[in-house]
Structure 1
């Protein structure tokens, strides 16, 4: 069982989590903007045809991993909270 958070701790945690989510939304926006431009350049024949798929796939993987870190493993997610609780219990039992 964990102790209740103080109002200051709640505020700090809420701001940090909101900032992480906002960071992901900005990341997606920049991804869409740049990859849209890359697609247009690729279709206009700048360089080899259809080269824009490569940065879209690589950067897209980064966006997906960023999203997983924020929404699945980030603070407040069930997975992260269960892992933290598991580690607390292990440390309480073993002392290290």
Structure 2
């Protein structure tokens, strides 16, 4: 019975961590959608050089990585890559 409680608690903590990560991503996305247009507005009203693209691209890349992490998507290794590698290393030993 105690083991089931520990497993349920672990599942709850992992689910809560996932929700917090997704919530953080949406907060970051909202800030991006507000700040970048303000920077673009300031940029176009002050100079002809499009400097706002630098923070837009940098923050955009970070936002993309945050989203991929929040939704546990890894296009480079796939879903089962880590599990396959663990099994592979265990068989070698």
The corresponding residue for 1:60 is 60
The corresponding residue for 2:85 is 87
SS class of match (1:6): helix
Q: How far off is 1:49 after superposition?
A: 3.9
CA RMSD of aligned residues (A): 2.1
- Structure 2 unaligned regions, length at least 5: none
- 1:9-20 matches, cutoff 5 A: 9-20=10-21
* TM-score, scaled to structure 2: 0.75
SS class of match (1:44): helix
Q: How far off is 1:87 after superposition?
A: 2.5
The corresponding residue for 1:32 is 33
> Which structure is richer in relative contact order (CA contacts within 8 A, separation 6 or more)?
2
List structure 1 segments (4+ residues) > 4 angstroms apart after TM superposition: none
* TM-score, scaled to structure 1: 0.73
Q: How far off is 1:94 after superposition?
A: 2.3
Separation (CA, whole Å) in 1 of partners of 2:82 and 2:51: 43
Number of aligned residue pairs = 85
- Structure 1 unaligned regions, length at least 5: 74-78
